[in-house]
């Protein structure tokens, strides 16, 4: 959270999931200078029944969301924007396109330096080379950082 705070200019809206440690981390990093909400979801297991012991061990997809509990903790967040869906979708993209983040895989990094390089390549490709179907352009084009879709060769030749 302290690292996030350094990267954000001014006040922002922040939503976390139900992980308890986020509460104190947000308070410590942002103080009162944030609009912060927590959204906790409860999922059913494959059989359709809630079983907390089984939830900790399973690797399969949950059958569905049973409840969503939203609590506002700091400031006045816009209720229409309180959501963890964006970060959940980003996490899915990371796991799909970078096997180092997939559970039970042999594609892990033995050295932190290799993991750093893998993440940097993923982020650069995701933002400059991959056209996103919702917008028909790359995020870098949307942010006006470039005016075209980069090739892999162009990405690898870039000094940054």
How much is the average pLDDT of 110-124?
88
What's the chain's average pLDDT?
86
What is the residue whose two structure tokens read 């986020």? 22
Instruction: Enumerate the β-bridge partners of residue 39.
Output: 70
| Residue 40 phi, psi (nearest 5) | -105, 130
Lowest mean pLDDT: which of 24-28, 52-56, 62-66, 111-115?
A: 52-56
How much is the average pLDDT of 103-126?
84
Tell me, yes or no, whether 10 and 76 share the same domain.
yes
Tell me, yes or no, whether 102 and 45 share the same domain.
no
Structure-model confidence comparison of residues 26 and 115, the more confident one: 26
**56: containing domain:** 2-83
Pairing status of strand 64-74 against strand 35-44? antiparallel
User: What percent of the chain has a predicted confidence (pLDDT) above 70?
Assistant: 88
Tell me, yes or no, whether 64 and 131 share the same domain.
no
pLDDT(160) > 80: no
Pairing status of strand 13-16 against strand 35-44? parallel
Other residues' Cβ atoms within 10 Å of the Cβ of residue 22: 17
pLDDT(133) > 90: no
Q: Cα(82)–Cα(11) distance, rounded to whole angstroms?
A: 15
Q: Which of 1, 3, 23 is nearest to 72 (CA)?
A: 23
Q: Which of 94, 90, 121 is nearest to 105 (CA)?
A: 94
The dihedral formed by the CA atoms of 32, 35, 36 and 37, expressed in degrees to the nearest 10: 140
pTM of the model: 0.67
Q: Show which of 31, 57, 83 is a domain's final residue.
A: 83
Q: Positive or negative, the Cα torsion across 24, 25, 31, 34?
A: negative
Tell me, yes or no, whether 16 and 46 share the same domain.
yes
Q: Show which of 83, 108, 140 is a domain's final residue.
A: 83
């Amino acid at each position: 959270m302290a690292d996030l705070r350094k990267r954000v200019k001014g006040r922002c809206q922040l939503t976390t999931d139900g992980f308890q440690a986020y509460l104190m981390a947000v308070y410590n990093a942002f103080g009162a200078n944030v609009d912060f909400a927590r959204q906790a979801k409860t999922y059913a297991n494959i059989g359709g029944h809630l079983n907390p012991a089984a939830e900790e061990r399973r690797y399969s997809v949950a059958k569905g969301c049973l409840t969503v509990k939203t609590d506002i903790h700091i400031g006045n967040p816009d209720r229409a924007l309180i959501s963890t869906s964006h970060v959940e979708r980003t996490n899915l993209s990371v796991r799909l396109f970078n096997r180092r983040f997939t559970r039970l895989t042999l594609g892990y990094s033995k050295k932190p330096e290799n993991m750093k390089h893998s993440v940097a390549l993923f982020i650069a490709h995701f933002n400059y080379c991959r056209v996103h179907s919702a917008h028909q352009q790359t995020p870098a084009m949307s942010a006006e950082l470039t005016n075209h879709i980069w090739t892999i060769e162009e990405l690898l030749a870039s000094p940054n």
